[in-house]
């Protein structure tokens, strides 16, 4: 199960991005696991285009997000 705490909406334009984040991470992890490398910038752009994340305000929400829940959950 994936537990993430990402803002539901983009801070700038209000677009819902939380569900796109999970899809984005799944696509990136697919490339990492199957091809044993990091996705190229072109592939990242392609993933955003496929998900319909067009504006760069929304893209920065997803790209710059760092999941800290696993660090916090240790103190549960």
Asked if 69 and 5 count as a contact pair (C-beta separation under 8 A), the reply is: yes
Provide the b/e sequence for 55-69 (b: ≥16 CB within 10 Å): eeebbebbeebeeee
10 binds Zn ion (CB under 5 A): yes
Pairwise CA distance, residues 11 & 75, whole Å: 29
Determine which residue in the list 8, 13, 22, 63 makes contact with Zn ion, applying CB under 5 A. Answer: 13
Give the H or E element holding residue 24.
Answer: helix 18-35
58 binds Zn ion (CB under 5 A): yes
55 binds Zn ion (CB under 5 A): yes
- Per-position x/- string for 22-41, each x denoting binding to Zn ion as judged by CB under 5 A, each - no binding: --------------------
If binding means CB under 5 A, how many residues of this protein chain bind Zn ion? 7
Binding site for Zn ion (CB under 5 A): 10, 12-13, 15, 55, 57-58
């Amino acid at each position: 199960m994936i537990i993430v705490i990402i803002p539901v909406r983009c801070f700038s334009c209000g677009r819902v991005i939380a569900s796109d984040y999970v899809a984005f991470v799944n696509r990136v992890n697919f490339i990492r696991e199957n091809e044993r490398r990091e996705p190229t910038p072109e592939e990242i752009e392609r993933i955003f285009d496929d998900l319909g994340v067009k504006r760069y305000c929304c893209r920065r929400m997803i790209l710059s997000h760092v999941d800290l829940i696993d660090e916090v959950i240790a103190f549960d």
